[in-house]
Structure 1
Amino acid sequence: MALEGLMTLRIHLMRHGETEWAISGRHTGRVDIPLTGNGEVEARRLGQRLASIKFDHVLVSPLQRARQTCELAGCGEQAEIEPDLIEWANGDYEGQTHADVFAQRPDWNLFHDGCPNGESPDDISARADRLIERLVRLDGNVALFSHSHFGRVLGVRWIGLAVQAGQHFILNTASLSVLCYQHEHVGDPAIELWNG
């Protein structure tokens, strides 16, 4: 148990491995597609990086690309499905590339505009905040297997920035980021590692 005001919480945020749509640049929200062969290799390599960490909690998005990454990284036995880790709902833009969307809306920005018939920035920000409220009650090492855009929102909301700042925080496939508290003080949320 942590001392009052101090927490040893360390959130290890992992983006899933490569998919066909990640390669082609198609917006991949709620469509449930698997990893590519290379994505499976990436997930196993991620597992090698995580092998020395004992996780107290493992939470994973319900989508198969995140679940496969979790399994191949060696964390599947502990994993619990966490619905709030699911990717940003792209609505009408699901499966489209940036070029497709820009042909219709040249000034479109996901983090400012959201997606028609999908989630707005306010929607996804509220979802990230709801998850953070539950995460801060935990202690120890927490593994989260999620997605690019939701992970970016979670990272910026962790440090108190607006959802729009997420556009500046890139997450590559099978990347590792670490959210924590500076000097383990609950009043000082910090990012120790990003897109590693």
Structure 2
Amino acid sequence: MKKLILVRHGETEWNIEGRTQGKMNSSLTEDGLIQARLLGERLISEDIDSIYASHLDRAKSTAEIIGNIIGKSPSYDEDLAELGFGEWEGLTVKEIELNYPQQLKEWHSNPHKAIIPSGEGLGIGQERIVSFIKKISQENEDNNVLVISHGTIIKLFLLSFLNMQLSDFYRLKQDNCSINVIEFKKRGPVLVKYNDKCYMEIINKGDNNGKE
């Protein structure tokens, strides 16, 4: 692989409502659709050879928009799906706090140790995404690859890439349709862009209603 570009899906209705999405689906907002189109235009210059995306609707919609713009058909894979948040999915933080106070406290203070009822766990999610990236790296030796996934999963991969601990989970941030770029150089892979949203300035300058 020559270049790996990791991006999060566009803004969703549940992002606005503050609901935990996990493996459940929520549609892109109007701003989310605009973000995806702008991202597609931004990625034209990256000479992308392959697109891989989560099979969940919000990532799939983002991938379809980008694919149409850059002329590439996405491949969808469950390994790129968001972390499973079990019984928390569809709930707001206030609702989780009301029904699962101790588990939420642990999630906020020790996310690597937290047990979400019927959820997946950070360690399992990290193994899933790291294995997937390793696999597609071998399949795309000389290619520029775009991966469209979810905030938690992308953060888990970056933690592994940067040799950070799962306990550092909250030290990283991933905004909707942000760009992370890893270039593979002679001295090894290098993170050259992180959570980049500069191309979105057109939204903020337009009506100041863009939510990222």
Question: Is the structural similarity TM-score above 0.5?
Answer: yes
Question: 1:127-156 deviations in whole A, cap 9, x for unaligned?
Answer: 122113213313321000111111111111
Aligned residue number for residue 193 of structure 1: 193
CA distance in 2, matches of 1:44, 1:34: 15
**Residue among 90, 106, 118 paired with 1:108:** 106
TM-score by length of 1: 0.86
Question: Could you list the per-position Cα deviations for residues 82-132 of structure 1 after superposition, in whole angstroms to 9, with x for gaps in the alignment?
Answer: 221100100011112223333422523263215210101221121122113
Query: Structure 2: which 5+ residue stretches go unaligned?
Result: 197-212
Q: Does 1:70 align with 2:70?
A: no
Helix, strand or coil for the counterpart of 1:52? helix
**Pair 1:37–1:114, CA change in 2 (3 A):** farther
Partners of 2:16 and 2:7 in 1: CA distance: 18
Q: Distance in 1 between matches of 2:75 and 2:26?
A: 20
Q: Indicate if the aligned counterparts of 1:148 and 1:171 stay in contact, CA closer than 8 A.
A: yes
Residue number in structure 2 paired with 1:38: 31
- Quick one: distance in 2 between partners of 1:101 and 1:60? 29
Classify the secondary structure of the residue corresponding to 1:156. Answer: helix
Looking at structure 1, the residues matched to 160 and 10 of structure 2 have their Cα atoms a distance apart, in angstroms, of: 23
RMSD: 1.9
The structure 2 residue matched to 1:145, chosen from 141, 148, 153, is 148
Specify the SS of the correspondent of 1:107.
helix
Q: Give, in angstroms, the shift of residue 166 of structure 1.
A: 2.8
Name 1:4's counterpart in structure 2: none
User: Could you tell me the TM-score, scaled by structure 2's length?
Assistant: 0.80
Could you tell me which residue of structure 2 aligns to residue 170 of structure 1? Answer: 173
- Separation (CA, whole Å) in 2 of partners of 1:165 and 1:76: 37
Q: Which residue of 2 aligns with 1:97?
A: 92
Structure showing the higher helix proportion among its residues = 2
- Unaligned regions of 5+ residues in structure 1, if any? 1-7
Count of residues in Structure 1 that have an aligned counterpart in Structure 2: 186
Q: Distance in 1 between matches of 2:164 and 2:136?
A: 17
Structure 1 counterpart of 2:95, one-letter code:
D
- Verify the 8 A CA contact 2:50 2:72 in the aligned structure 1: no
What secondary structure is seen at the aligned counterpart in 1 of 2:94?
helix
Identify if the C-alpha distance between structure 1 residues 174 and 37 changes in structure 2 by more than 3 Å, giving closer, same or farther.
Answer: same
Q: Which structure 1 residue ranges, 4+ long, deviate > 4 Å from structure 2? A: none
* Aligned with residue 164 of structure 2, among 146, 149, 161: 161
Q: Give me the whole-angstrom Cα distance separating, in 1, the residues matched to 2:35 and 2:166.
A: 28
In structure 2, how many angstroms separate the alpha carbons of the residues matched to 1:39 and 1:108? 31
Q: Please give the secondary structure, in 2, of the residue aligned with 1:194.
A: strand
